[in-house]
Structure 1
Amino acid sequence: MLEGSFDELPPAAFSISTAFPVQQPPQHSGLSGWVARRFASQSSPFETPRVGIYKVFDRGAKRVQKDSAARRDGGSPSRTVDYLRDEVSERLMERFLDIKKKFDTVVDLGCGPGHFSKLLEPNKTRKVVMIDSSKESLYRDPDEEFDVEIERIHADEENLLNILPRQSQEAVVSCLSLHWINDLPGVLIQVKEALKPDGLFLGAMFGGDTLFELRTALQLAELDREGGISPHVSPMTDTKDVSNLLGRAGFTLLTVDTDEVRVGYPSMWELLEDLKDMGEGNAILGRRHFIHRDTLAAASAIYKELHGTEDGAIPATFQVIYMIGWKPSSTQRQPLERGSAKTSLKDVL
């Protein structure tokens, strides 16, 4: 995290790739470092200890960051940076609506204040169960903002089977929370075990190219000013990793695709501040707790030189991996045997 504060800067304008209108995020003050990941936390006070899990993230620190972001000034700063999660939630909802099935209950895992849950309608589900490790974030927004019945559970997402009985759920959805999980393979297995046969898992998580502009700028600045580098942007997974992990967890009928959201800011400072208000500060174990001001100033100049646009703004790229998997069931449609097709692809083309 960064120390000190700075004068208020002009609002950042952002645009979404795929013909999204330019909008204005809020005014900014203060700074923060970002970190988003590869197999995402550390133990929390209500987490069941487990042995043999490689820890990348400090889950306790991450929960404090999210609580602080949701609590600050009545949650106003965190609401003003909802634009990223709202956009990804809408894209995830498009995939959810493509599934021609109504669910009695949907679990929103790592829900935050409920960006995805607020988009659910009664014709698609009766109830949503919201689970998040950050109590302040979980209860940030009132029930009136949801169109379906909601149940909120304050618990650690890494211990799902301590919350949900096995084979009890029809659908589990996770929108932009899995990148902070330490034991991602284990959590995916728990999701599969919590689902009923033919149950749905639908997820969105940040991919490996997320914030590559910020990553390169900070690394080059640290090399120049301090003679070495330290992690400020978390390691993250890629599409191939996600496909393999879903298969290893036992899901079938897999669908994995990627998309990008590009956000434009006046400078690196507004980007860092928005990441702080999103609760996306550095939570890597063994992280540095500050960055020298001259290193940050150098990183800002490098960022603008390498990636700046003609109008003086800087882009920030968020790669999002979307995934769909189903728990195996004898009633699922099965692919035909290889070589059993009766129509030649050559004839079709």
Structure 2
Amino acid sequence: MTDRPAPPRIFDRALLHRRLRRALAAGAPDFLLARAADDLLDRLLTVKRDFPRALDLGAPGEHFAQAIVASGRRAPLRANALGGDVIVDEEALPFAPASFDLVVSGMSLQWVNDLPGVFAQVRRILAPDGLFLACLPGGASLVELRIALAQAEEEITGGASPRVSPFVDVRDMGGLLQRAGFALPVADVDSFALRYDSVLGLMRDLRAMGAANVLVKRASRPLRRDVLARAAAIYAERFSDPDGRVRASFEIVWISGWAPHESQQQPAKPGSATMRLEDAMKAARPISEK
């Protein structure tokens, strides 16, 4: 039996953790986490289950833990690389199989190098009929910033460098959850836009959140001032409102899946239908067509 090959190293996670620690110590803007936590609370309130053993995996701050408590459940175990009750790396979970009835994760899994592997580990630590609920930025997030930076750098230097980390595509999430062994996988998107006086305000917020580029193959040179000035001009030309303020698009992709259990709804077995498709279509045909 051969060992599974190591996943490609896409993100510099040591650099990420240093930046996030500095951001949290300085009081990072938390508007994205606050919005996601409100959504988490709404989702938990629709599920009539107790979930006595809950894990808050990777979410910086206490927003997600507070949402679980506000839903009427016990406080979760908080586990991440920056603090909480247990210091863990999301890519190597130390918990025993079937340790939790609920695992939530907020705005952290976008920076793991092996997302399918993390999903498989979460599935392993969930008890039967346990729920996994997570959110992470979607692919349309910061699309305006990507366009402006790439166009400006191409115009001035003759080539564009990766300046913004890639995000997930919601269309891939259901399949990844199924591959990891989850039942009843669901993925949906919360899309919205924020407005700034200029793109520089947006970039300040991103740096303050510790969300600057942490790609291993990120550009080796800092962003030149003339490129930044041109990018700001392009952003204002293409993505501003009549009042002069600019828009920044965000997507929060939500995913959920259950650890399989016999009580869950199951798809019908092949060949178990009691009516042929042709007969069903005839039965459903309007009277005027018969």
Q: Fold-level match, TM-score > 0.5? A: yes
Structure 1 stretch displaced more, 330-339 or 92-101 = 330-339
C-alpha distance in 1 between matches for 2:63 and 2:86: 16
In the alignment, which residue of structure 1 is the partner of 2:135?
Answer: 204
Query: Quick one: which amino acid aligns to residue 115 of structure 2?
Result: L
Secondary structure of the corresponding residue to residue 159 of structure 1: coil
C-alpha distance in 2 between matches for 1:261 and 1:173: 22
Aligned pair 1:126/2:74, yes or no?
A: yes
Aligned pair 1:329/2:261, yes or no?
A: yes
Secondary structure of the corresponding residue to residue 238 of structure 2: helix
**How far did residue 111 of structure 1 move?**
1.6
Secondary structure of the corresponding residue to residue 160 of structure 2: coil
Aligned pair 1:183/2:148, yes or no?
A: no
C-alpha distance in 1 between matches for 2:114 and 2:71: 35
Aligned pair 1:89/2:37, yes or no?
A: yes
Alignment of 1:60-79 (within 5 A): 60-72=14-26, 75=27, 78=28
Work out whether residues 104 and 134 of structure 2, in 8 Å CA contact, stay in contact via their aligned partners in 1. Answer: yes
Residue identity (%): 37
Aligned pair 1:53/2:7, yes or no?
A: yes
Q: Choose the corresponding residue for 2:195, options 255, 264, 271.
A: 264
**How far did residue 334 of structure 1 move?**
2.0
Q: With a CA cutoff of 8 Å and minimum separation of 6, indicate the structure with the bigger relative contact order.
A: 1
Change in CA separation of 1:340 and 1:98 when aligned onto 2, cut-off 3 Å: farther
Work out whether residues 44 and 68 of structure 2, in 8 Å CA contact, stay in contact via their aligned partners in 1. Answer: no
Work out whether residues 210 and 317 of structure 1, in 8 Å CA contact, stay in contact via their aligned partners in 2. Answer: yes
In the alignment, which residue of structure 1 is the partner of 2:86?
Answer: 153
Tell me the C-alpha RMSD between the 2 structures: 2.2
Q: What CA deviation, in whole Å up to 9, does each residue of 1:296-343 have, x standing for no partner?
A: 0000000111111111111111111111100111232324457458x9
**How far did residue 287 of structure 1 move?**
1.7
**How far did residue 120 of structure 1 move?**
2.3
C-alpha distance in 2 between matches for 1:123 and 1:299: 44
C-alpha distance in 2 between matches for 1:271 and 1:339: 56
**How far did residue 93 of structure 1 move?**
2.1
Q: Choose the corresponding residue for 2:49, options 101, 108, 116.
A: 101
C-alpha distance in 1 between matches for 2:43 and 2:128: 20
**How far did residue 123 of structure 1 move?**
5.9
Query: Quick one: which amino acid aligns to residue 304 of structure 1?
Result: A
Secondary structure of the corresponding residue to residue 126 of structure 1: coil
Change in CA separation of 1:226 and 1:123 when aligned onto 2, cut-off 3 Å: closer
Work out whether residues 132 and 155 of structure 1, in 8 Å CA contact, stay in contact via their aligned partners in 2. Answer: yes
Work out whether residues 57 and 90 of structure 2, in 8 Å CA contact, stay in contact via their aligned partners in 1. Answer: yes
Work out whether residues 69 and 75 of structure 2, in 8 Å CA contact, stay in contact via their aligned partners in 1. Answer: no
Work out whether residues 105 and 125 of structure 1, in 8 Å CA contact, stay in contact via their aligned partners in 2. Answer: no
Query: Quick one: which amino acid aligns to residue 155 of structure 2?
Result: D
Aligned pair 1:318/2:250, yes or no?
A: yes
C-alpha distance in 2 between matches for 1:117 and 1:98: 17
Secondary structure of the corresponding residue to residue 189 of structure 2: strand
Higher Rg of the two aligned structures: 2
Structure 1, gaps ≥5 residues long: 1-49, 139-151
Structure 1 segments of 4+ aligned residues over 3 angstroms from their partners: 335-341, 343-347
Q: Choose the corresponding residue for 1:286, options 217, 220, 223.
A: 217
C-alpha distance in 1 between matches for 2:197 and 2:24: 25
Change in CA separation of 1:166 and 1:221 when aligned onto 2, cut-off 3 Å: same
Aligned pair 1:241/2:189, yes or no?
A: no
Q: What CA deviation, in whole Å up to 9, does each residue of 1:118-152 have, x standing for no partner?
A: 222366321311111123xx4xxxxxxxxxxxxx1
Structure 2, gaps ≥5 residues long: 286-290
C-alpha distance in 1 between matches for 2:264 and 2:42: 22
**How far did residue 51 of structure 1 move?**
5.1
Query: Quick one: which amino acid aligns to residue 250 of structure 2?
Result: F
C-alpha distance in 1 between matches for 2:168 and 2:70: 34
C-alpha distance in 2 between matches for 1:339 and 1:83: 50
Work out whether residues 58 and 284 of structure 1, in 8 Å CA contact, stay in contact via their aligned partners in 2. Answer: yes
**How far did residue 214 of structure 1 move?**
0.2
